[in-house]
Structure 1
């Protein structure tokens, strides 16, 4: 099988030296990739420069992206040519539009006037005590996958923070249905540490539990190869 995996976390630039990112290391995506590679599958890993990666090997193809725009461009063609997508990347929900200081904001009659601007300098001045950063929503890559390739098997990920199990399941299954996924890996940040990663792999009707990253990788592998 041709397996497409995303891992790591995107970074959205504010200027040439600043950006908005997240804490994703790519460790789980790396383990998932290594699990499939060990069984002879062809793996394409879309990841970031900062993320950890498997060692180079013949069946591994690497694509490095930086932000949501580059991810979108890279993913469309790859999704069309793969059998399975395991979308574990932490994708930025918003991207910067314009950053300004309080004085400019107070002088502006319509906020919409600022939203049509963009910062032209390479490095925005840090003289002001307070800055206001305007963000706009990025495209949801997972929502486009089945448009690009209706036949691809899709495993998505949903991370929430400190919610009851019932709420985690409800939100994850809503994502599964909305994005026509086969499975969603549901996890809570409070149950992730250097020594554990408690998660549930959910389908429409079933749930399967894992307690560390190795267990998650093996669980995903088993469900993909058995088509269960």
Structure 2
């Protein structure tokens, strides 16, 4: 049974010769059991008649913002709220540009501004248009907002050029949507423990030591684990931005606070992901009152904090999957493998924080994932939600393999 059965999908169709493939995609989505609603741009109807999509989807097709078919609702808001998934195929450079700028001047772009559903974009255009700096920048802007792109293929284009720009085949688009929807139950019944953000080590009541971690990577993992059906506990230090919904949040400050909170939850967790940036040291003494400035210099004595990841590794129970993170600036693989072995991790996610878009405080990350055999997977620069999806897929697969390898209980 397809993971798209019962899903409400809005399919946006832009003007281009590849619009004929959108008809095949609509048919495949409907056959997979999805409830498909189609929005076409006025240019799209020059290539494929709305009647084609109406017949395939068994629903009215929307083209004009002002053509309200049901007086009880506002059509573009109703469609935006209706969607479990939103896919644009084909997506033109014009639509991508409007979405990046937040413009809404037709039925499709207005509905896109109103939806909160996960958005997949499958571009199709001339190779030089696709590689145009403005188009690339607009796509990067959308990636940073969490939009997922189904990259175009390379081949003969309708304009006569050969290169990247042809709409991905309907079967591949369907498969991408099924993979995403299928993740909804990947961690059903599992308990996932995640740490996020930086810790705060107090010097006095008004000063502290911390780091640049925003918690966004940990938040993305927590949000994705919840979507995959897990019961999620998030131990969060100093963070930026709104907390993910639907998860149990435990707020902490110091490394010691985080250690205690994590150990209280670790025993019942199937997967532990330590994405927090924990301070390695803390002040030896914390002043009860604000330290007044006196001399030109001040010496601050620091002592080592407990190593949370190493503690978890030493206490890891059979079948539990432990995932660590390593933020590096040099010799990434060497440092990552050393940390993985020393701290008894199953997976280690390493990133070079000196690279643009891969450091603290960004919406994107470029990572390499290691296990004891070395590099498992190298991910390009992706939105952190996409990194989280792949990481949790790998962790879930390890969990299943571990359980499959367990000997049967005596007498069973």
CA contact (8 A) 1:183 1:201 kept: yes
Structure 2 equivalent of residue 129 of structure 1: 296
Q: How far 1:174 sits from its partner (Å)?
A: 1.0
Q: 1:130 to 1:175 in 2, by over 3 A?
A: same
Contact 2:199–2:238 (CA<8 Å) still a contact in 1?
no
Q: 1:204 to 1:8 in 2, by over 3 A?
A: same
The structure richer in helix per residue is 2
Seen in structure 2, the aligned counterparts of structure 1 residues 139 and 192 have a Cα distance that, compared at 3 Å, is: farther
Q: Please state if 1:84 is matched with 2:271.
A: yes
Of 204, 211, 214, which residue of structure 1 is paired with 2:372? 204
Q: Which of 259, 282, 285 is matched with 1:95 structurally?
A: 282
The TM-score normalised by the length of structure 1 is: 0.83
Cα RMSD after superposing both structures: 1.7
Match for 1:12 among 190, 201, 221? 201
Partner of 2:344: 180
Alpha-carbon offset, residue 176 of structure 1: 0.9
Structural mapping, 1:1-228, within 5 Å: 1-57=190-246, 60-97=247-284, 118=285, 120-151=287-318, 152-161=320-329, 163=330, 167-193=331-357, 194=362, 196-205=364-373, 206-210=375-379, 211-212=381-382, 213-227=384-398
Superposed CA offset, 1:13-72 (max 9, x none): 000100000010011111111111112111000002544454432xx1110110011111
Distance 2:267 2:315 in 1: 6
Distance 1:13 1:119 in 2: 6
* Matching residue of 2:87: none
Q: 1:49 to 1:191 in 2, by over 3 A?
A: closer
CA distance in 2, matches of 1:30, 1:78: 18
Deviations 1:113-146 (A, max 9, x none): xxxxx45441001132211111011111111113
- Judge conservation of contact 1:9–1:51 (CA < 8 Å) in 2: no
Unaligned stretches of 5+ residues in structure 1? 98-117
SS of 1:90's partner is: coil
In the alignment of these two chains, the number of paired residues is 202
Give the structure 2 partner of residue 107 of structure 1.
none
RCO comparison, higher one (Cα < 8 Å, 6+): 1
Structure with the higher strand share, 1 or 2 = 1
Aligned-partner Cα distance in 1 for 2:354–2:286: 37
* Structure 1 residues 182 and 76, CA gap change in structure 2 (3 angstroms): same
Instruction: Determine the C-alpha separation between the residues in 2 that align with 1:65 and 1:13.
Output: 13
Q: Answer whether contact 2:281 2:305 (CA < 8 A) is retained.
A: yes
Change (3 A) 1:128 1:29: same
Change beyond 3 A, Cα 1:172–1:49: closer
TM-score, length-normalised on structure 2?
0.47
Higher alpha-carbon Rg: 2
